[in-house]
Amino acid sequence: MKIKVKHLGALREAEFTLGDLTIICGGNNTGKTYATYALFGFLYTWRKMLSIQVNPDKIEQLLFEGVIRLDIQEYIDKSEQIVIQACEMYTQELPKIFAAQTDRFKQTQFNINLEIEDKNINLASKFDRKMRAAKAELFSITKSEESTQLVITLLVEKEKVEIPRDIIKVIISDALKDIIFVQLFPRPFIASAERTGAAIFRKELNFAKNRLLEEMGQADKDIDPRELLFKEYDDYALPIKTNVEFTRQLETIVKKSSFIADKYPDVLADFTDIIGGEYTVTRNDELYYMPKGKRVKLSMDESSSAVRSLLDIGFYLKHEAQVGDLLMVDEPELNLHPENQRRVARLFARLVNLGIKVFITTHSDYIIKELNTLIMLNHDKPHLKRIAEQEGYRQEELISADKIKVYIAEEADIKLEGNTRKTKCQTLTAADIDPELGIEARSFDTTIETMNRIQEAIVWGEE
């Protein structure tokens, strides 16, 4: 999947491909978060943005004959155009996604290009969904394994079907979206840079309730309460709102168990070592951190900033993670000691190897260097195996260079669409990744080289 943007925040024109591990690095105010939030917003809302039209004649046939069959391949052939139209609609929604003024997105373009591997949509899985109303099953939507046909069958007498035809069309359309596009668009989970504040004020940050109470107190007596209830508020960007909502629902979330908790408890043990303890939620919805080996429970405002920074990632890993997800972390190094930054890099590599895609923005040279080590050790050579064993690296943490995409947010000379000459503008430049040497992260190397040069001059300048 290739994402292309124009006039998005600081980014004049840029494109990036989503890898198993995608990294955007660069200086401050260079467009990293804009690219991250824009991608998250689309992956979070794509079902609303995609439009799949079901022929009205098919609905009439269903109500008359009791069963219809739709050729899924017919809709797959239109998938590229469906995504293009969805991107156009999504671009209009960007002011809401970013909770920003519409004027800032007047020239913005956001596009997702389906690449060759995306177009080879797999129809091997079966699909089975039943629609109910008032405890009665109205109709079923099914697809058998390997089949290209979607079968919709009435389960009641047609005279008893009270669902409007437009609703039936939407339900069938939603089923087609899930069959075709769920495998293309991973389920996103984001840990925004504001996550440490959300951890402390999770109960107070009930945006909808607080705003509703405020406006009800100020509203005219004749105002319709439903108007307030269904009104949308755009005070905070969508990633921040979803982040806060996640932390507010921890009492419910802890009742679930992720595939990592079920099959790979050692991953959770590694995470516990990183934070030096465990999180717990009481029956009264109180959130605490319990340091390892100590009989004490600390509230979030009593805990370290590192504990707060990793809170939602910890709950995601233990209770929410699914194979095929996209874990997005804005600046994973927030408040972490360099050693824990290294360990988080190893955690991300392990997650990638377990089937979770990871997307990060970072300023951390430690994270990049640790990933380089994991790349460089991932070769079948005796001395590399010896080093890995001596330094405590496990095979499941090592990662192949071809799973990683790295982009540097920077000013560069690029050929803008429609121009024959190159223009210097803010963009995303793909970094070189060598299977033997790792990632070339110029944005860090230049700074480190400058610091080394200055210190060498200080030490040796008198000679």
Q: Determine phi and psi for 110, rounding to 5 degrees.
A: -130, 125
Question: Does 158 lie in the same domain as 250?
Answer: no
Kindly state the tokens that stand for 49: 């943005």
Tell me if residue 337 falls in helix, strand or coil.
coil
Residue 94 lies in a domain: no
Q: What distances in angstroms separate CA 192 from CA 176, 231, 399, 406, 416, one per listed residue?
A: 32, 25, 25, 19, 31
Q: Sort strands 21-26 and 357-362 into parallel, antiparallel or unpaired.
A: parallel
CB count within 10 Å of CB 260 equals 24
Percentage of residues in the chain with pLDDT exceeding 90? 62
Dist. CA 260–CA 315, nearest whole Å: 11
Rounded to whole angstroms, how far apart are CA atoms 385 and 66? 64
Please give the tally of structural domains in the chain.
Answer: 2
Same domain, yes or no, for 262 and 340? yes
Q: What is the DSSP string of 173-213?
A: HHHHHHHHHTTTSPPEEEE-TTHHHHHHSTTT--HHHHHHH
Mean pLDDT by 10 residues, the chain (463 residues): 94 94 92 95 96 93 91 92 96 94 94 82 89 80 92 80 83 94 94 74 56 55 52 72 87 93 96 94 88 89 90 95 96 93 96 98 93 94 93 94 94 77 89 89 75 85 68
Q: Rounded to an integer, what is the distance from CA 39 to the centroid of its chain?
A: 8
Residue 351 within a domain: yes
Instruction: HSE, CB side, 13 Å, CA atoms: give it for residue 18.
Output: 29
Helix (H, G, I), strand (E, B), or coil: what is residue 307?
Answer: helix
As a whole number, the mean pLDDT across the chain is: 87
User: 69 and 13 in one domain?
Assistant: no
Q: Could you tell me if 177 and 199 lie in one domain? A: no
- pLDDT given at position 121: 85
What is the crossing angle of helices 365-377 and 382-391, to 10°?
Answer: 140
Query: In terms of residue numbers, what domain contains 271?
Result: 2-47+188-431
Q: Which pLDDT value is given to residue 228?
A: 45
Per DSSP, helices labelled H in 182-300 are 195-200, 207-218, 225-229, 238-248, 250-253, 259-263, 265-275
233 and 377: one domain?
A: yes
29 and 132 co-located in one domain: no
195 and 294 in a single domain? The answer is: yes
